[in-house]
Amino acid sequence: MGKVYLVGAGPGDFKLITLRGLELIRQADVIIYDNLANKELILLAKDKAELIYAGKKASRHELPQKDINALLLKKARENAVVVRLKGGDPFIFGRGGEEAEFLAGHGIPCEVVPGITSAISVPAYAGIPLTHRERASTVAFITGHEDEKKTASTIKWHELANGPDTLVFLMGIKNLDLIAGRLIREGRDPATPACVVQSGTLPTQKVVSGRLSEIGPIAKRAGIKPPGIIIVGAVSALREKLAWFEKRPLFGKKVVITRPHHQSMKLANLLSENGAQVIRMPTIEISVIAPNKKLSRAIELPGSYDCIIFTSVNGVSAFFDTLFGKGKDTRSLHGITVIPIGDATASLLAARGIIPDRMPQQFTSEGIIEVLEGLGVKGKRFLLPRAKEARDIIVEFITSKGGACDVVPVYKTRLPKKTNPPVEKPDIVTFTSSSTVANFIKLYGKDALKGAAVASIGPVTTKTLKTHGLQPSIEARRYDIPGLVEAIVEYFK
């Protein structure tokens, strides 16, 4: 018998998942997820996990609840670790109680992993504290969309209108006028501050505020749509002072990342922290060359080299995977000068137990050459594990100065097998290498860049863009990922 875990995915921002929830997503054999669960979380599942979309958008269910219950039962009986991933918290208007009750009735072990409900997190991201010593001592959570099978409402409207200081309605956007009208009829002051938040905690967050009597028309004029929540109470007025989320420099900007998917996390995180809506459109796939006899021979005789130059994290990964696979460790590189091309490559070397001996000031091949000029090349032998397709500027410099350089291709780049459709009206498209430029144009054409700011990581990438008739709007002064984000933020200031 397997086990089912009802896991709260949080309100939208995938970083608001709990540690326990993240742990189970990575362990699950089967993940059955709803529309409101951030799809970034699904990408963290193990390779062989079965992913099943259960839907549940407003007014439309991909799978009826009885079918979801049957699916949970079936998968658990197949001895699987089943994660039922639900937006927000499973037990706050998420039907988690119904699912847990069904599983208990069939003898299926079930564990509940609470999530951060939108009822508390979305107001926080809108700058609204639900309680405040001077303004609100009580708060109530109310469904804005009751079960259609009910013959009459079971919400105690009179008590709500005259009781709790703060009211939070979930799933009530379509019924906003009815909710506001009913509260006023039951005694709530029409001038009570109210707020509606669409897509809270996400870069697409949209907020409108006004008096309770006017909030419906205000939201309609602003084009507010589900999913969203409604906050009624004096604390809503604090948003004017406390709003923070929308003030981040890239808030709401659609930023396309063209890096390989497995290498895009750092750039995505930095952009997200600045408020951007990150859209992954990988234009490259990396494949390690294996078996690699040339690399194996070089590793068997590392002492014959004076220096190893790593021009990417991919080269570091391939080299050390082969080194460790042969039962060797970092002691094999004793006495060899190690030079990486930039901070990310240096960090990965450090994680493998190697502190670089020299670092270029410019994170380009030209920067490496400056280091080699100071190091001296004549009579020395260099190892260069790199991509199969790469510029030969380093090799040409070494040989012209009387040195020897063994180029060992350790990985290949290629067009991805699956591509995403072009993004409609992106604000920024980022390019972190010449390959991302060339492949983007092959996949989507130059028209996909119309109206977007083009961001280049450095002069080599910029040169490739210009070769294709494209002038970048942004070029990083520091040729790495933090430098690129810094340049983008500066551009939009």
Q: Please list the active-site residues.
A: 34, 56, 171
Distance CA 338, CA 309 (A): 6
**Number of Cβ atoms within 10 Å of the Cβ of 291:** 8
- Sign of the C-alpha dihedral, residues 266, 270, 275, 279? negative
- For 474, the 3-state DSSP assignment is strand
- Sign of the C-alpha dihedral, residues 433, 45, 88, 172? positive
- Sign of the C-alpha dihedral, residues 289, 291, 293, 297? positive
User: Where do we find the tokens 């350089």?
Assistant: 405
Distance CA 64, CA 174 (A): 21
Distance CA 388, CA 409 (A): 5
The DSSP result for 333-348, as a single string, is GTT-EEEESSHHHHHH
Contact 18, 114 (CB under 8 A): yes
Distance CA 309, CA 315 (A): 9
Distance CA 82, CA 205 (A): 31
Q: Among candidates 10, 44, 17, 9, which has minimal Cα distance to 28?
A: 44
**Tokens linked to 86:** 């639900």
Residue 279, beta-bridge partner list:
256
CB neighbour list of residue 86: distance below 8 Å, 6 or more residues apart: 6, 7, 8, 9, 33, 34, 36, 37, 94, 95, 96, 115
Separation in Å, CA 375 to CA 262, 381, 401: 34, 12, 12
Report the side by side order of strands in the sheet with 206-211: 139-143, 166-170, 228-232, 193-198, 206-211
Backbone angles phi, psi at 90, to 5 degrees: -60, -30
Indicate the residue type of 60: R
